[in-house]
Structure 1
Amino acid sequence: MKILRLLAVIIFALGTPFYFAQKSDVGAWYMYFGNNKISNKLNFHNEIQYRNFDWIGDLEQLLVRTGIGYDLTENNNNVLLGYGFVLSQPYVNVEKKQNIEHRIFQQFITKQKFGRLNLQHRYRLEERFLEDDFRVRFRYFLGLNIPLSGKEMLPKTFYASVSNEIFLHLDSPVFDRNRVYGALGYIINKNMRIEAGYMNQIQENKNRGQIQIGFYNNIPFTKK
């Protein structure tokens, strides 16, 4: 419990400067990720992201994503077919607009371990059904987790997380955006962990920062 309280203090410290600022270009994302085994090879992916223009209360985007994956090898090399619903509320000439997007996506995740370094590669293809357009986008994500208070990613361990993700359209303009992320995480138990960090996004030659708080749930739906 002392470690959880310490993590809460870190999360509060990350967000406090932006909460009390009258106006800030830094937003906040609150994220839940579920990846639950439904058989020895199959997994159910479920995810909700609540994204704000500021600390809280000014919705930028609500994203709900789900899918079914299959491990090609034991607990690794996962292929997944999924669907995403995206509700966006961008500002257009000071006024808020509302856009709805439906996505179908296919992805492949492979994991590698080098000593204390835990790498993840994710390749994702998205078919995006916008209200007045259709686009296909490719994403490549490279993530790295490093245990800090131990040698392995085990329960009750603090860890550092860094990642980079690039988004590319299959038509012009090719470059969409790039996200660089760094965080401190804590492994609660073998099936749950939490992260608090900062992400910088480059899009249309503009930089925008995001405070991110994520909860990860891997509780299996099967009985061993």
Structure 2
Amino acid sequence: MKIVKLMAQVMALTATTFSFAQKNDLGAWYMYYGNNKISKKLNWQNEIQYRSFDGATDLEQLLIRTGIGYDLSEDNNNILVGYGFILSQPYTDGEKQENIEHRIFQQYITKQKFGRFNIQHRYRLEERFMEEDFRMRFRYYLNFTIPINNKEMIPKTFYASVYNEIFLHLDSPVFDRNRVYGALGYVISKNLRIEAGYMNQIQENKNRGQIQIGFYNNIPFGK
């Protein structure tokens, strides 16, 4: 019940925030992340993100991403190959358009721990098949997660999370975007947690904020 109450408070805060923001000044992303072991070495990544212009029904982008990964060492140094389907509905001259992208990606994730600091590096290469274009992009993601009321990320732990992710095209122009994020989260159980925060996305010609609410599921499917 405490978790339900906490999520209700987060949603209420999000609604209040949008009531003070002008249209398109602030968006919201509602995200589900699954990273589930299917054997000792193999994992299935599954992800859905609903990205909204107004925090509710005005769809900006729907992203569905999945992949199969392999741990090069015990619970670390994961290599993964995956696929993403992205439906975007941007505004052009006040009119909504619809674009579909199919994306193949390869990534490598390595984790480190220094005291309370849990550090994750993610290197990702994307092949992006858009309706009238093809582009390749490299992404580097650096995340720090710090438990607050416990020394480890155990159940009933509140934690802080920050990340920076830079996106670079493999052709010109090289710079695509940069994301900076800060959040508070709660560990529900060994394999479940929730997180709410704010992300600022910097692009060449615009800078936009996003409220983000994420649910993380690491329940294993196999031993």
TM bracket (short chain): over 0.9
Shift of 1:54: 1.1
TM superposition outliers: structure 1 runs of 4+ over 4 Å: none
Across the aligned residues of Structure 1 and Structure 2, the Cα RMSD in angstroms comes to 1.4
Q: 1:41-52 alignment to 2 at 5 Å?
A: 41-52=41-52
CA distance in 1 between partners of 2:149 and 2:11 (Å): 18
Cα distance change, pair 144–76 in 1 and its aligned pair in 2 (3 A): same
Confirm or deny: 8 A CA contact 1:19 1:55 kept in the other structure.
Answer: no
Cα distance change, pair 106–12 in 1 and its aligned pair in 2 (3 A): same
Of all paired residues, the percent bearing the same amino acid is 77
Q: 1:86-101 alignment to 2 at 5 Å?
A: 86-101=86-101
Confirm or deny: 8 A CA contact 1:105 1:125 kept in the other structure.
Answer: yes
Look up the match of 1:184.
184
Confirm or deny: 8 A CA contact 1:15 1:211 kept in the other structure.
Answer: no
Shift of 1:136: 0.2
Confirm or deny: 8 A CA contact 1:18 1:24 kept in the other structure.
Answer: no
CA distance in 1 between partners of 2:195 and 2:46 (Å): 17
Look up the match of 2:82.
82
Give the structure-1-normalised TM-score.
0.96
Q: 1:45-194 alignment to 2 at 5 Å?
A: 45-194=45-194
Structure 2 stretches lacking a partner, 5+ long: none
Confirm or deny: 8 A CA contact 1:11 1:196 kept in the other structure.
Answer: no
Confirm or deny: 8 A CA contact 2:23 2:53 kept in the other structure.
Answer: no
Secondary structure at the residue paired with 1:18? Answer: helix
Give the structure-2-normalised TM-score.
0.96
Cα distance change, pair 154–52 in 1 and its aligned pair in 2 (3 A): same
Shift of 1:20: 5.7
Cα distance change, pair 3–33 in 1 and its aligned pair in 2 (3 A): closer
Aligned residues: 223
Structure 1 stretches lacking a partner, 5+ long: none
